[in-house]
Chain A
């Protein structure tokens, strides 16, 4: 549905800064009817890719076709089948919910009975029932997000792009939003591409793409990605991570990975974790603050692939104790 072919984007330099490559020779295909999450650390190029896909920026090189239309040569044709939910609100908060929907309908040439039917359809899944005459700035963050999604759904997009749409939502609102999004995607057979930092959001999607420094590092189903780092992993928090990592490597021959205060032993198969844990505890007990066996989640895959901890990820399962440790 979305074909990205050898896409490159370089931001012009300034007097002080050299030109910066945001996307480097990226090729990927988002298949029709699939829900794909695009993730990557800050500065990985995903926001640039998003802007290009929306038709707001032109790349330095490469091609993108959406439903067979060349995005750069025929932007108007692509705009008609595209729905976009931005990270920052794209509704007018001084206007009511109904007024915002009305304007959006005008932009897409919907009017009369057609508009009324589409509006009711787009509002059906929301909790906005009795609030159509309320101004958007009087709504909660979760409800305001529902307006954004309802507005976009009204035009029945074949391709829906979302840029970190759950930023700033509390967990309950986030879950509601995603549940609605998944339901709509299935019902309408929409192709969805959503950028996200939050890996809890990625578990039940069709495919996850991970970008870093403009390259596509991984692009697969969540299951396949998780299998990359084994089914179990042992996570140790030693007093001195640097020295401890070296010890495990040299004395035990483990493949270790250090992430901040943690040492991770990944690619461990089912049942191997417990003997490893016992062995480590037996020999190094005094040096260890905590140790656990974990099922790797997508966040761990992300950390594994991108080689550093996700900055905005969920807190690690063992709270860090920093006071008086050194």
Chain B
């Protein structure tokens, strides 16, 4: 119980911090939005995915952009870990009598909350795309946002924890996190790509997260819960989030340990008794 209270307090801090930095708010909202508008408008004319009927690229790309918002929000909240841990706020948290899970959850829930604000606002665009979202569909959609947010934030946490410099984190983001997003099906569908790419995409957990976000726009909760593909994607997304959380917690709990001294004949080697 106290773990959860501490986590909420830390998450609240994360959120307040975000809202106090207007350029961060503008940046994280505007970038995906511009991406969506420009790429959506640009590709709409030529985009004819096999077996997807009359879907415009603007519409196809819409859940992918939501996923990108999740990715960015988690990255921005994890990046502070690197500096905070050795020379900042986290130092004080680490020496406090709180469970290590609370530290991870605080960061992850904070990142998720930041991402949620953006994606929920972005959901307003759905009717303009001709997507009719019933109230019942909002439940699986919001659940999908939370799950994906937790998954990405926990993954970001895990990556950032072992880092010494923010520059290193940018590198990891470009060669690891961005490709995960690119190969999720956010930019192009899984169908019609070379077999090897399809294989990579299918084992990419972010692909399943995208499915979980996309599905509620096209089917009601009952249909979803009867759909094997959806349930598989849901299971993968949940598994990914839980795994990252647990591994993060173990990492935080692990204190750096000195190595065993080399036994050389020094003065320190005199018998103790």
Contact = CB atoms under 8 A, between A and B. Distances in A.
Interface of A: 6, 8-13, 19, 21-22, 24-25, 54-61, 76, 79-80, 82, 84, 86, 88-92, 94-95, 99, 102-104, 106-109, 135, 151
A8 B259 CA distance: 10
A60 B261 contact: yes
B114 to A, nearest CB: 14
Q: Is the interface of A mostly helix, strand, loop or mixed?
A: mixed
Interface in B223-273: 255-262, 268, 272
Contacts of A99: 13, 16
Contacts of A106: 5-6, 9
A224 B201 CA distance: 72
Contacts of B90: 90
Given A84-B92, A92-B17, A58 B6 contact: no
B10 interface: yes
Shortest 7 CB-CB contacts between residues of A and residues of B: A60-B258, A106-B9, A90-B92, A88-B87, A79-B97, A107-B96, A9-B258
B86 to A, nearest CB: 8
A150 to B, nearest CB: 13
A11 B258 contact: yes
A191 to B, nearest CB: 16
Nearest to B18: A94
Nearest to B102: A107
A70 to B, nearest CB: 14
Q: Is the interface of B mostly helix, strand, loop or mixed?
A: helix
A55 B98 CA distance: 13
B89 A92 contact: yes
B8 to A, nearest CB: 8
Nearest to B7: A106
B24 to A, nearest CB: 10
9 contacts: A11-B258, A12-B259, A19-B262, A55-B255, A57-B258, A59-B258, A94-B16, A95-B16, A102-B9
B97 A108 contact: yes
B95 interface: yes
Contacts of A60: 257-261
Nearest to A79: B97
Nearest to A51: B256
Given A59-B257, A99-B16, A106-B6, 11 more contacts: A19-B259, A19-B261, A25-B268, A57-B258, A79-B96, A79-B97, A84-B95, A92-B89, A94-B17, A94-B21, A95-B13
Contacts of A10: 258-262
A21 B263 CA distance: 12
Nearest to B260: A60
Contacts of B17: 92, 94-95
Interface centre among B6, B96, B257, B262 (most CB of A within 10 A): B96
A102 B98 CA distance: 15
Given A8-B261, A60-B259, A107-B9, A94 B20 contact: yes
